[in-house]
Amino acid sequence: MAVLLAEPVRAKPWLWPRRWVDQEPLLERQHDGLEANLAELLWLHGPMQPAWTAAEALAIERGCRRLIWDLRLHLRLEERWLSAQGCLCPGHRGVHLQAVNDAKAALLETSGDRQARLRWLLALQSWFTNHRHGPDATAYGIARSNASVR
């Protein structure tokens, strides 16, 4: 079984877009990449998958850690750019912080327990999808509106 976790979507820091109209597509591509990584990890943890070799288990563990790292970096960048547009409320930032802290704790708690890890990944996927299409969509719409008035 191959572990094909894709590289995250990143811009080179010196080439980061300066305007919201250019920032939003990068954030959306990052959302898509995180969703794809989550889907792959869920598939790998699924009940139809055979037992992993030690090397596969290690690669999948690294993939889960990388997912949290990439999520954390994405949320920080999103907060930075939404804040610059004047539409990041403290509650949104707090939800991000809580999500990252919960994910880090769950990663440690589910280590070595494939079924528990699957449940955690499903919960993370649910949170991420709801957040992307709820609070993020609202904030992105406000940022779009704020950027068009400037």
User: Which residue's structure tokens are 């790998």?
Assistant: 44
- For 67, other C-beta atoms within 10 Å of its C-beta total 21
User: In the structure, what pLDDT confidence band is assigned to residue 6 with cuts at 50, 70 and 90?
Assistant: low
Angle (nearest 5°) at CA 113 between 111 and 116: 100
20-45 vs 54-84: helix axis angle to the nearest 10?
Answer: 160
Q: What is the pLDDT of residue 69?
A: 97
Given this model, what pLDDT does residue 8 score? Answer: 60
pLDDT mean over 73-88 = 96
Mean pLDDT of 113-125: 96
Mean pLDDT of the chain: 91
87 or 16: which leads in pLDDT: 87
Question: What local confidence, expressed as pLDDT, does residue 5 receive?
Answer: 57
pLDDT surpasses 70 at 3: no
- Mention every residue, 6+ apart, whose C-beta is less than 8 A from residue 5: 37, 40, 41, 59, 63, 66
Q: Is the pLDDT assigned to residue 38 strictly greater than 60?
A: yes
